[in-house]
A and B are shown apart, each in its own frame.
Chain A
Amino acid sequence: EADIYQTPRYLVIGTGKKITLECSQTMGHDKMYWYQQDPGMELHLIHYSYGVNSTEKGDLSSESTVSRIRTEHFPLTLESARPSHTSQYLCASSPPTGAVYEQYFGPGTRLTVT
């Protein structure tokens, strides 16, 4: 089934650890996005990509990095986790430029840094 997947769904980790949040989509979309969201609160764009080897920083300053080596895969990495990184991280994708601009969201990863 065409969808967007995120793993892990929940992660509790200690300060200073390196973590990678995985995002994959099987919808054939070229554009992908990472948002940070505290529960029920505003969505902040932290990274986006318009295709392979294309990555841009979003509106919210973030200490994370992303890569886009394959169209379907857009992982986010935190080199050294801190308690301030505790939040929910949502991955999204959208189709190639055209009449449809809808962004499809993944189920999210809830990250807690202790």
Chain B
Amino acid sequence: GENVEQHPSTLSVQEGDSAVIKCTYSDSASNYFPWYKQELGKRPQLIIDIRSNVGEKKDQRIAVTLNKTAKHFSLHITETQPEDSAVYFCAASTGFGNEKLTFGTGTRLTIIP
């Protein structure tokens, strides 16, 4: 089955700086890669996703890049703000009617004011 590794497990950055979280996956058939954000005591929520037919996707301060050859994808947050503090999870899925997600182990991001 799929295995997703996520690094780092914790990350602290100064407000206004950029943050990068990286994930690698094992199943070359995976073609859908979402990122979820979970604030303290809240439910996980999708913030951005990317499919295997594109290499990069951007939504305001958040971007995701995908390297299918190397089987890794990354989340980039620019101009970080205190409300970006949360746990971030990457995930992978093969799609095509099997939307079961395999999640990474999570990254606790802390923005230092």
A43 at the interface (CB under 8 A from B): yes
Minimum Cβ distance to chain A for residue B92 (Å): 11
B87 at the interface (CB under 8 A from A): yes
* Range for the number of chain B residues in contact with chain A: 20 to 34
With A90-B44, A103-B46, A107-B43: A45-B105 Cβ-Cβ less than 8 Å? no
Interface string of B42-54 (1 = CB under 8 A from A): 0111100100000
Measured between beta carbons, the chain A residues less than 8 angstroms from B40 are 40
Name B16-52 residues within 8 Å CB distance of A. Answer: 32, 34, 38, 40, 43-46, 49
A74 at the interface (CB under 8 A from B): no
Measured between beta carbons, the chain A residues less than 8 angstroms from B95 are 101
* Residues of A within 8 A of B (CB-CB), count: 21
A84 at the interface (CB under 8 A from B): no
Name B66-113 residues within 8 Å CB distance of A. Answer: 87, 89, 93, 95-97, 99-106, 108
A-B contacts, 18 listed (Cβ < 8 Å): A40-B106, A42-B89, A42-B106, A43-B103, A45-B100, A45-B102, A50-B97, A58-B100, A90-B43, A90-B44, A94-B99, A97-B97, A101-B93, A101-B99, A102-B49, A103-B99, A106-B43, A108-B43
Closest 10 A/B residue pairs (Cβ): A105-B43, A43-B103, A42-B105, A97-B97, A102-B46, A101-B99, A105-B44, A40-B87, A101-B32, A94-B99
Binding site for B on A (CB under 8 A): 31, 33, 40-43, 45, 48, 50, 58-59, 90, 94, 97, 101-103, 105-108
